[in-house]
Copies of this chain bind each other. A is one copy, B any other.
Amino acid sequence: MRLTLYTDYALRTLIYLGLKGDRRASIREIAEAHRISENHLVKVVHRLGRGGFVETMRGRGGGLRLARPAAEIRVGDVVRFTEEDMALVACFQPPGESGGCALIDACRLQSLLGEALAAFMAVLDRRTLADLLAAPEREAVLARLGLGPGTTGVEAPRAPGNGE
Tell me if A156 is interfacial: C-beta within 8 Å of chain B. Answer: no
Residue of B nearest to A104 (CB): B144
* Contact status B135-A106, CB under 8 Å: yes
A94 to chain B, nearest CB (A): 16
A35's contact among B33, B102, B115, by CB below 8 Å, is which?
Answer: B102
* Contact status B105-A75, CB under 8 Å: no
Scoring A83, A86, A123, A124 by chain B CB atoms within 10 A of each residue's CB, the highest score goes to A123
* Contact status A88-B141, CB under 8 Å: no
Chain B residues with CB under 8 Å of A101's CB are 8, 12, 34
**Chain A contacts to B: CB under 8 angstroms:** 1-3, 5, 8, 11-12, 15, 33-35, 75, 83, 85-90, 99, 101-103, 105-109, 112-113, 115-117, 119-124, 127, 131-135, 137-138, 140-141, 144-145
